[in-house]
């Protein structure tokens, strides 16, 4: 944790002044895989769970920062009487130089991971977990200054064990999964 905070602090110092940065908004769609997503890997999976969201941020010559919101419905599966979702709200530090019309980037961030599970039609067993988590990943933006496309892969991890009805689901039951997305990149 200390190493992560040190790296994030160092990267924040590298972010250019706001006047030199380009703002953007990037609505995305994608799917979850690996770990708790019940889809073993990024390819060859029949049970993909889709997600949607939006990222808003600023990117300078080499570094940037963004606030990212994601939502995955039916994250823990679909069955009669079962409703579930995962909501993420992450602040990320991004690093990546622009090379002509391409900007590859890496990112690391931290924020809220909220899980919600409800069993039975009457919602008799209902639980939500709010936990602090982190994510790491990378991707690429292709396009001009004002419009382009963006794709990335991120891995999400919670620091807190999942609970159901106030009872821990066991040791080492932290939420852990990957997410692949495609986005429209709108610069301003």
Looking at residues 61-79, what average pLDDT do you find? Answer: 90
Domain count for the chain:
1
Q: Containing domain of residue 98, as a range? A: 2-16+24-187
Q: How confident is the model at residue 47 (pLDDT cuts 50, 70, 90)?
A: low
Here the CATH number for the domain that contains residue 130 is 2.40.160.20
Looking at residues 2-30, what average pLDDT do you find? Answer: 74
Q: What is the pLDDT of residue 113?
A: 94
Q: What is the pLDDT of residue 19?
A: 46
Q: What is the pLDDT of residue 117?
A: 80
Q: What is the pLDDT of residue 18?
A: 47
Alpha carbon separation from 114 to 12, 69, 139 (Å, rounded): 26, 11, 24
């Amino acid at each position: 944790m200390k190493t992560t905070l040190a790296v994030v602090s160092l990267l924040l110092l590298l972010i250019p002044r706001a006047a030199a940065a380009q703002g953007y908004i990037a609505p995305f769609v994608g799917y979850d895989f690996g770990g708790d997503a019940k889809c073993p890997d990024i390819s060859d999976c029949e049970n993909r769970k889709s997600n949607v969201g939006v990222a808003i941020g600023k990117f300078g010559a080499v570094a940037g920062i963004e606030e990212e919101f994601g939502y995955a419905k039916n994250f823990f599966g679909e069955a009669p009487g079962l409703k579930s979702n995962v909501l993420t709200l992450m602040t990320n530090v991004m690093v990546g130089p622009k090379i002509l019309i391409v900007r590859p980037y890496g990112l690391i961030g931290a924020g809220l991971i909220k899980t919600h599970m409800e069993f039975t039609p009457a919602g008799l067993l209902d639980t939500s977990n709010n936990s602090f988590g982190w994510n790491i990943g990378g991707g690429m933006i292709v396009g001009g200054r004002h419009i382009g496309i963006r794709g990335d892969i991120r891995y999400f991890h919670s620091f807190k064990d999942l609970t159901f009805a106030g009872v821990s689901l066991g040791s080492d039951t932290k939420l852990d999964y990957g997410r692949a997305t495609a986005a429209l990149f709108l610069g301003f």
